Amino acid sequence: MKRILTGLKPSGELTLGSLIGGIMGTIERQNAYESFIFVPDLHAITVRQDSKLLRERIRKNVALYLACGVDPDKNIIYLQSENLYHANLSWVLECNTYMGEASRMTQYKDKASKKENVTVGLFTYPILMAADILLYDADYVPVGIDQKQHVELARNIAERFNKTYGDTFKIPEPLIPEMGAKIMDLQEPTKKMSKSDDSYKGVILLLDDAKTIRKKIMSAVTDSDTKVYYDPINKPGIANLLTIYSCLKHISISQTEEYFKEYNYGALKKEVADIVVETLSDIQKKYNELIDSAEIDKILDRGREITNKIAEKKVKEVFDKIGLGRRVGK
């Protein structure tokens, strides 16, 4: 069975975009792959975090994954920070990565342009991401379009290492969903809906109440036209609403267009709001049952035990090949 690895950084509240672009795909694939799901909390500290809030969000992330339908019997779920081999391998990979290729990462450029003080961690975190992937010999990494570049970096590093030291790492493939990989902000529909956004006006959080959800969707920015059809270039706001509806109803964009072709914008927004409220209400009920339960800790303990054994073996192999440690092969 092929192995697949995915994670969602706990640097903000999980959103509708997180659900559609990541979690739903994980649920659909959990019967077809050996699935590893991790909370990459080390990535979160590339910017300063409130320690109490970060721990709360880590637990909330896991509870929400489970509430959304991620099956702990079909997925290995773990915290990145509870496996120190991620950091071990990341340093080795940094020493096999060139400044030029690291500096070309577009997410670093985008984030750096908005901050006066940029940490080294923000620059090197794509290499830690490569370690996250290569440590477990993942065959596939589900990513949004904006993250594909990071998987390509992991591939480049792995190929270079294999060529230099012999076959060590499996070369991963990015897995990009055909639809729904990128849900846009309701107020700025040319910008991705982000869990790290300072303002949540255009962002639907998975734990938003029904009234808040309806208000955000009914206030979604559209255009001056009156016809409903899918055109992400000229009608990004409408295209975004149609994408949300089609993903949550599990129907195609063309079917969604046909259904809404006689609707006005207000009626479209109302139906989109209805399906979002219905979907998130079920998730929130399950979340409230899980968040304070011991079940979460049992699941994470199991994930920590399994992944540390796998990671230790891989790092020992890497160290042997590059000459680290006192005894080769031990």
Residue 162: inside a domain, yes or no?
Answer: yes
**Residue corresponding to tokens 């799901």:** 37
pLDDT of 330 over the 80 cut: no
Residue 92: inside a domain, yes or no?
Answer: yes
- Which conformational region is residue 272 in: left (phi greater than 0), alpha (psi within -120 to 50 degrees), or beta? alpha
Residue type, 182: K
pLDDT of residue 115: 64
DSSP character at residue 205: B
What CATH number does the domain containing 260 carry?
1.10.240.10
Extract the runs of DSSP E, i.e. beta strands, from the chain.
Answer: 3-7, 34-39, 75-79, 140-142, 173-175
pLDDT tens, residue by residue, 220-268: 999 999 999 999 999 999 999 999 999 999 999 999 999 999 999 999 9
Query: Nearest 10 degrees: CA dihedral of 280, 35, 59, 244?
Result: -20
Strand, helix or coil at 248? helix
pLDDT tens, residue by residue, 86-105: 999 999 999 999 998 888 88
- Spatial neighbors of 14 by CB under 8 A, at least 6 apart, are 8, 23, 60, 61, 64, 195, 205, 206
Residues 316 and 244 in one domain: no
Residues 90 and 236 in one domain: no
Strand, helix or coil at 101? helix
pLDDT of residue 194: 83
Do strands 75-79 and 173-175 pair parallel, antiparallel, or not at all (unpaired)?
Answer: unpaired
Which of 294, 283, 247 is closest to 66 using CA atoms?
A: 283
**Residue corresponding to tokens 């016809």:** 227
Residues 285 and 165 in one domain: no
Residues 100 and 25 in one domain: yes
Q: Would you tell me how many other CB atoms lie within 10 Å of the CB of residue 319? A: 16
Torsion 74-78-83-89 (CA) sign: positive
pLDDT tens, residue by residue, 130-142: 999 999 999 999 8
Residue 188: inside a domain, yes or no?
Answer: no
Do strands 140-142 and 75-79 pair parallel, antiparallel, or not at all (unpaired)?
Answer: unpaired
Q: Looking at the annotation, which residues are catalytic?
A: 111, 192, 195
Describe the strand order of the beta sheet including 140-142 as a list of residue ranges.
75-79, 34-39, 3-7, 140-142, 173-175
Residues 96 and 241 in one domain: no
Domain that holds residue 243: 210-289
Residues 242 and 264 in one domain: yes
The span from the CA of 237 to the CA of 223, in Å, is 7
Residue 280: inside a domain, yes or no?
Answer: yes
The two three-digit tokens of residue 123, written as one number: 């620059």
Residue 69: inside a domain, yes or no?
Answer: yes
What CATH number does the domain containing 51 carry?
3.40.50.620
What distance separates the 2 farthest-apart alpha carbons in the chain? 73
Contact 148, 182 (CB under 8 A): no
Residues 151 and 214 in one domain: no
Residues 103 and 216 in one domain: no
Contact 187, 180 (CB under 8 A): no
pLDDT of 327 over the 90 cut: no
Query: Nearest 10 degrees: CA dihedral of 81, 33, 175, 184?
Result: -70
* pTM of the model as a whole: 0.85
**Domain tally for the chain?**
2
The span from the CA of 323 to the CA of 223, in Å, is 61
Residues 19 and 58 in one domain: yes
Q: Would you tell me how many other CB atoms lie within 10 Å of the CB of residue 150? A: 22
Residue 200: inside a domain, yes or no?
Answer: no
pLDDT tens, residue by residue, 14-66: 999 989 988 888 898 999 999 999 999 999 888 888 999 999 999 999 999 99
Residues 272 and 300 in one domain: no
Residue 193: inside a domain, yes or no?
Answer: no
Which of 269, 275, 201 is closest to 20 using CA atoms?
A: 275
pLDDT of residue 42: 93
Residues 80 and 175 in one domain: yes
- Spatial neighbors of 260 by CB under 8 A, at least 6 apart, are 228, 242, 245, 268, 271
Residue 78: inside a domain, yes or no?
Answer: yes
Contact 30, 71 (CB under 8 A): yes
Residues 177 and 217 in one domain: no
DSSP character at residue 183: P
* Main-chain phi, psi angles of 136, to 5 degrees: -110, 15
